[in-house]
Chains A and B, each alone.
Chain A
Amino acid sequence: MPLFRFMFGLLLCTSVAVAEEWTTEEVFSRHKDSVLQIRIIDAKGGAKRSIGSGFMISDDGRLITNFHVVADFVHHPGEHRAEWHSSDGASGPLELLDVDVVHDLALMRSEALANRVFLAVESNLPKMGERLFSLGFPYDLGLTIVEGTYNGLLDKSLYERIHLTGSINPGMSGGPAIDRNGNVIGVNVATAGNQVSFLVPSRHVIDLLTRDDATTRGELMQRIGEQLRANQARYLTELMQAPFATTTLGDFQVPGAVARHVNCWSQSDQAQERLIDRTELSCQSDDDIFLSGELTTGAIRYEHELRSARRIGTLRFWAQMERSFRGFFGNLGGDEASVTAFHCHQDFLEHEGLKSTLMLCVRRYREFDGLYDLVQRQVSLAHSDRSLQSTLILTGVDREHGIQFARRFAEEVRWSRR
């Protein structure tokens, strides 16, 4: 039934769209009633906890917004309530039907919104440079339309994201980005500032609409867990299938940019007055999945740090290595209610003649069975005057894929014996 409604909207829109190209004024006047402000209200304080935007997607009162707009309502439904507010001053309560946490989408409904004019979605992507119009309620300032340009899909992203050159601002999250034919191309989701903004492509909205609604919060949380598990299994399996791209760091071969969506940066510190030369290679994916204000997941980050003694004895060098090993500055977020404490295992690892000390620390998500954050640190012990320290952070992974990837990563650190 939802699919039927959606198809109807799509067809209707397509037939209108070919006929004319809309101006900004037309987009605004025709769609202003379909775009709503979403407010998450703190039940005790009675005031806004978070605000965002959303747009009507069917004639039975369903609307789409971002998951991150309604995350507090998802995690703590007893402490919050969700409301819609239209630009003409009407408002009403909202119920949550489903979410796509990986693509940051949420499907909501209000009976009071039934028969309201809704938007059609276009799953085909526009042409490069095509004008798009983004609508929403930036900074709670009222309904606003922003004109921008379609700049294709992000190349270095684990999840599909449309690159929009235009100013999406806080409060517009969840609002629609509309093409010149009046169809929804994507959902406003993020900005990097300076007119660099991102949209979730409409095809993920279609995926969300074609599923059955979740009937209970338990089912909803179960779905989120399943989405996270399926997502990490997919991208980690893909990563494991291909050979790791490696790079050379001194005498060592280390995993470099292991995937297109992983970005690496390097820096060296070899100032004359230093006692130790240091070269660092750090890589990360920029595709964290928002779970709550305190916790994001689905990240891959790793760092290799090669240190070589220059004017320092072995004992002092290893005292510095020990200090470096102990220092970990990467707060993974989360609180005691959402994750456990870290539990660690440490031992010597020997692989292809390279001996290292390896420490693996894990914590589990309390709400999502079988999902862990994993931090691994490895220090090579092959030389007395130089050592490689590699740190890997994987968030939101299951046992099987997380351990497989961590092992592969540790074993890909090799001594090139030049």
Chain B
Amino acid sequence: MEPPMSFFGAVEVVDRTGNVQARVRVERLPFRIGRALDNDLVLDDPHICPHHAELRGAETLELIDCGSLNGSFVGADRARRERIELGTGCELRIGHTHLRFRGAGEQLAATLADPMAGSRWLGLDRWHWGIAALAGSAAVVVGEHILGSSQALRPGVVAGAAAPALIVLALWALSWSLVNRVVAHRFHYVGHLVIGCLAVITASALETLGDYLGFAFAANQASSALDTVMGAMLIAVVVFGHLRLISTGSGRRLLAPAALVGFAFLALMTLPDAADNRFSSEPRFNISLKLPAAALRSGRPGETFYADAAEALDAADAQADEVPE
């Protein structure tokens, strides 16, 4: 849009980091700047004179110092100036105040596209989702506590057992929100909370599914390996979700860091665990026992079971022939 004929540009009051505190259009000349209220730009800076300077000129504007006590300066230059020719983007200093002149014909940069505008991820940042997700994860935590408890249930005890996990979830979401605030100047606490809660619910569901399948098919080791892979994938998705809420850029460039975190988790889980490798003089009956899953497969006759069990004896024989470390 063309500026009106009486538009000469704008003077911006900026803070030390360059953020604009105030912006005043220059619509008539001379344009007076000072502490007095009859100025066009009134600055509450005690180091500025009541009538400190004026903008004058025709095609080219100039700032003319009106004999001020503390003078007028260009940018960080320490030389006091009587007249300063103004171009767009020219930075000025009077008293302790920083000004920036923007010319009437300034070419503006192209508008930045906001990838988050209308993003589905922002749909997570709704209170009703937050409450539902929190309720879901609370149900998971409470359910696991109830299943693991051999005592009669008391509401206080159950709530006490569930509280730490929920507090951790709240802090987790808060941490991501603060990162979001610092990096992207946004604060999607509920969105981050929903992602954390969904992760807890999904992890529990995957683990349960793995336990059931592992028990039904006598494949606890395979199911725990599958658990690890699924866990790594879940972590990658969760990290991607959090980054997506934070990032102002394209979602594609977030795939690499999310995948990296997933792989790092996988690597950590597949590292030989010192506790697992330590010699134990007790057998480990570390399997799941899920009665409903037993219906998926029939039992084997004793003869077959013990014929298959020879593998365990063979494995013991093979280890006996190795020299212990």
Q: Name A's B-contacting residues (CB within 8 A).
A: 273, 275-276, 311, 314-316, 318-323, 325-337, 339-351, 355-366, 372, 375, 377, 379, 381, 384, 399, 403, 406-407, 410-411
Tell me whether B286 is interfacial, beta carbon within 8 Å.
yes
Instruction: List chain A residues, Cβ under 8 A from B313.
Output: 343, 362, 364, 372, 399, 403
Complex-state Cα separation, A349 to B284, whole angstroms: 19
Quick one: which of A335, A346, A351 has the most chain B CB within 10 A? A346
Q: Name B's A-contacting residues (CB within 8 A).
A: 146-152, 215, 218, 220, 279-291, 294, 297-303, 305-306, 308-313, 315-317, 319-320, 324-325
Number of A-B residue pairs, CB cutoff 8 Å, is 155
- The answer to whether B287 touches A325 (Cβ under 8 A) is yes
- The answer to whether B281 touches A346 (Cβ under 8 A) is no
Quick one: which of A332, A343, A407 has the most chain B CB within 10 A? A343
- The answer to whether B299 touches A340 (Cβ under 8 A) is no
Name the contact of A356 in the complex, choosing from B220, B299, B301 (C-beta under 8 A).
Answer: B299
Instruction: List chain A residues, Cβ under 8 A from B308.
Output: 345, 347
A372–chain B nearest beta-carbon distance, Å: 6
- The answer to whether A347 touches B305 (Cβ under 8 A) is yes
Instruction: List chain A residues, Cβ under 8 A from B300.
Output: 347-350
Name the contact of A340 in the complex, choosing from B282, B297, B319 (C-beta under 8 A).
Answer: B319
- The answer to whether A365 touches B320 (Cβ under 8 A) is yes
Name the contact of A379 in the complex, choosing from B280, B289, B298 (C-beta under 8 A).
Answer: B289
Known: A273-B152, A345-B311, A372-B316. A318 touches B291 (CB 8 A): yes
Complex-state Cα separation, A363 to B279, whole angstroms: 12
- The answer to whether A349 touches B280 (Cβ under 8 A) is no
Instruction: List chain B residues, Cβ under 8 A from A411.
Output: 302
Known: A336-B324, A343-B316, A364-B320. A320 touches B279 (CB 8 A): no
- The answer to whether A319 touches B147 (Cβ under 8 A) is yes
Instruction: List chain B residues, Cβ under 8 A from A311.
Output: 152
Instruction: List chain B residues, Cβ under 8 A from A399.
Output: 310, 313
A-B contact pairs, 13 of them (CB 8 A): A275-B150, A316-B146, A335-B279, A339-B281, A342-B316, A348-B218, A355-B294, A362-B309, A366-B324, A381-B294, A403-B306, A407-B302, A407-B306
A345–chain B nearest beta-carbon distance, Å: 4
Complex-state Cα separation, A372 to B319, whole angstroms: 12
Complex-state Cα separation, A355 to B301, whole angstroms: 10
Complex-state Cα separation, A360 to B314, whole angstroms: 13
Known: A348-B298, A349-B302, A351-B302. A336 touches B279 (CB 8 A): yes
Name the contact of B285 in the complex, choosing from A325, A355, A381 (C-beta under 8 A).
Answer: A325
Instruction: List chain A residues, Cβ under 8 A from B319.
Output: 340-341, 343, 364
Known: A365-B320, A379-B289, A399-B313. A334 touches B281 (CB 8 A): yes
Instruction: List chain A residues, Cβ under 8 A from B302.
Output: 349, 351, 407, 410-411
A296–chain B nearest beta-carbon distance, Å: 12
Quick one: which of A321, A326, A356 has the most chain B CB within 10 A? A326
Instruction: List chain B residues, Cβ under 8 A from A362.
Output: 309, 312-313, 316
B178–chain A nearest beta-carbon distance, Å: 38
B174–chain A nearest beta-carbon distance, Å: 32
- The answer to whether A342 touches B287 (Cβ under 8 A) is no
Instruction: List chain B residues, Cβ under 8 A from A363.
Output: 283, 316
Complex-state Cα separation, A334 to B151, whole angstroms: 36
Name the contact of A360 in the complex, choosing from B146, B280, B309, B320 (C-beta under 8 A).
Answer: B309
Complex-state Cα separation, A366 to B320, whole angstroms: 5
Complex-state Cα separation, A7 to B313, whole angstroms: 46
Instruction: List chain A residues, Cβ under 8 A from B291.
Output: 314, 318, 381, 384
- The answer to whether A344 touches B283 (Cβ under 8 A) is yes
Give the 4 A-B CB pairs with smallest separation, nearest first. Answer: A350-B299, A361-B283, A322-B289, A348-B299
Name the contact of B306 in the complex, choosing from A320, A330, A333, A406 (C-beta under 8 A).
Answer: A406
Complex-state Cα separation, A334 to B281, whole angstroms: 6
- The answer to whether A358 touches B305 (Cβ under 8 A) is yes
B275–chain A nearest beta-carbon distance, Å: 13
- The answer to whether B281 touches A328 (Cβ under 8 A) is no
> Beyond A342-B282, A358-B305: 15 further Cβ-contacts under 8 Å?
A316-B147, A328-B285, A335-B281, A336-B324, A337-B324, A342-B316, A346-B220, A347-B300, A351-B299, A357-B289, A360-B305, A361-B284, A364-B317, A366-B324, A407-B305
Quick one: which of B147, B152, B305, B309 has the most chain A CB within 10 A? B309
Instruction: List chain B residues, Cβ under 8 A from A345.
Output: 305, 308-309, 311-312
- The answer to whether A342 touches B280 (Cβ under 8 A) is yes
Name the contact of B286 in the complex, choosing from A326, A343, A364, A372 (C-beta under 8 A).
Answer: A326
- The answer to whether A347 touches B218 (Cβ under 8 A) is yes
A356–chain B nearest beta-carbon distance, Å: 7
Instruction: List chain B residues, Cβ under 8 A from A341.
Output: 279-280, 319
Instruction: List chain A residues, Cβ under 8 A from B280.
Output: 341-342
Instruction: List chain A residues, Cβ under 8 A from B316.
Output: 340, 342-343, 362-364, 372
Complex-state Cα separation, A365 to B320, whole angstroms: 7
A4–chain B nearest beta-carbon distance, Å: 41
Chain A, Cβ-Cβ closest to B214: A346
Instruction: List chain A residues, Cβ under 8 A from B315.
Output: 343
Complex-state Cα separation, A323 to B286, whole angstroms: 9
Quick one: which of A318, A330, A363 has the most chain B CB within 10 A? A363
Chain B, Cβ-Cβ closest to A391: B285
Instruction: List chain A residues, Cβ under 8 A from B287.
Output: 325-326, 346, 357, 359
Known: A332-B282, A334-B281, A335-B279. A325 touches B289 (CB 8 A): yes
Instruction: List chain B residues, Cβ under 8 A from A355.
Output: 294, 298-299
- The answer to whether A350 touches B309 (Cβ under 8 A) is no
Instruction: List chain A residues, Cβ under 8 A from B151.
Output: 275
Chain B, Cβ-Cβ closest to A387: B291
Quick one: which of B282, B288, B291, B294 has the most chain A CB within 10 A? B291
Complex-state Cα separation, A72 to B325, whole angstroms: 21
Complex-state Cα separation, A172 to B55, whole angstroms: 115
Instruction: List chain A residues, Cβ under 8 A from B299.
Output: 347-351, 355-356
Quick one: which of B290, B299, B302, B317 has the most chain A CB within 10 A? B299
Known: A315-B147, A361-B312, A372-B313. A348 touches B281 (CB 8 A): no
Quick one: which of B290, B306, B325 has the most chain A CB within 10 A? B306
